Structure 1
Amino acid sequence: MNKTIIIPAIADDGSLYPVEKMAAHVQGVLHLAISVFVFDGDRLLIQKRAAVKYHCAGQWANTCCSHPHWNETLEDCASRRLQEELGFSVPLIRRQTVEYAASVGEGLSEHERVTLFCAQVAADSIEINPDPSEVEAVRWIAPSQLRYELGACPDAFTPWFRIYLNRFPELKF
């Protein structure tokens, strides 16, 4: 079932080169990624990663996140993964780019330059159909509840989501 996925890694000079996704995570190679945040007013749609995911299984994360395939645009990747993971499409707005590194367990690490995408929707205007191999559950959460849960049980959330919430308050979740 595991297929080889080639993603864009970032060389010291800023140029991109192809790397196998698992190799990037094993070696901690800096690579491109996307994160999507879909809001209904100030409530954020979050997902609980499926138990079969190779890292951070069963943890809550932002709406959707992934890696572009080699030669895929960031915009196309964000739209593709939102559809693949959650079964819906909405217009996405490209926001800022952030960089982080974090251990994600099982000897794997993320070292990502992440472009963030946001959308504003009415929750009742979209039909969410999660792929069970990707997503165990979804829910809308208000900022105050998210901050409370993050403080009470940080390990319930993926390392990158905790980093976004703690290090980049200007993202205005």
Structure 2
Amino acid sequence: MTELTNNYVILVDENDNPLGTMEKIEAHEKAKLHRAFSVFIYNSDNELMLQQRALTKYHTPGLWTNTCCSHQKLNESNVEAGKRRLQEEMGFTTGLQETISFIYKAPFENGLTEHEYDYILVGEYNDDPKPNPEEVNDWKWMKLEDIEADIRKNPRDYTEWFKIIFEKHKNEMVKSST
């Protein structure tokens, strides 16, 4: 396996067994399955912190999505990766818990495709973030039912992957509370 930097992703099979690495853009161009994580941060009012992606991002600029997401580095646990990226994007860190994982595929209009073995990580934080302007244009807290209603009303305002993972995450929360 090659050295994994911020520009490389870990290619995996359908069981999350590592197959090697590939440059991130190439993996997205070829729709190669790779490991990823998505962080969902809640406050004590059970509101989810959303971020609006920076307007300079190479895909889905200006769209709303979960608190942060990215790709693990070699030999980095999902929680370590989530904490690292939370600090890099949102300017804070907090405890994270791994919940569910699943595979999804989301093509973009620019020809790139997210094909990810995604781990959802959940944490709590009650202060304002200090977002990195190269990563984040804006942020807000929203109740889950308001997010769900807004996605139905304004689907083009949200990243494709967020619409997929939000539904999976919401369903898992309902299952675990019964």
TM-score, structure 2 as length reference:
0.87
- Other-structure match for 1:139: 140
> Does 2:32 match 1:53?
no
- Other-structure match for 1:114: 118
Cα distance change on mapping 1:48 and 1:70 into 2, 3 Å:
same
The size of the alignment, in residue pairs, is 168
Amino acid at match of 1:5: N
Whole-angstrom distance in 2 between the partners of 1:119 and 1:12:
26
* Identity in percent: 32
- Other-structure match for 1:128: 129
1:35-114 equivalent positions in 2, closer than 5 A: 35-40=38-43, 41-114=45-118
Contact persistence 2:38–2:118 (CA under 8 A): yes
- Following superposition, the deviation at residue 77 of structure 1 comes to 1.1
**Unaligned stretches of 5+ in structure 2?**
none
TM-score, structure 1 as length reference:
0.89
Whole-angstrom distance in 1 between the partners of 2:162 and 2:29:
20
Contact persistence 2:10–2:18 (CA under 8 A): no
My pick for the range that moved more, 64-73 or 146-155, is: 64-73
Contact persistence 2:54–2:135 (CA under 8 A): yes
Whole-angstrom distance in 1 between the partners of 2:14 and 2:145:
39
- Divergent runs of 4+, >4 A: none
- Following superposition, the deviation at residue 76 of structure 1 comes to 1.5
- Following superposition, the deviation at residue 106 of structure 1 comes to 0.9
Contact persistence 1:59–1:158 (CA under 8 A): yes
Whole-angstrom distance in 1 between the partners of 2:78 and 2:19:
13
Whole-angstrom distance in 1 between the partners of 2:128 and 2:103:
32
Q: Per-residue CA shift, 1:16-64, capped at 9, x if unaligned?
A: 3111111110000000001000001321000000001111110000000
Whole-angstrom distance in 2 between the partners of 1:119 and 1:62:
12
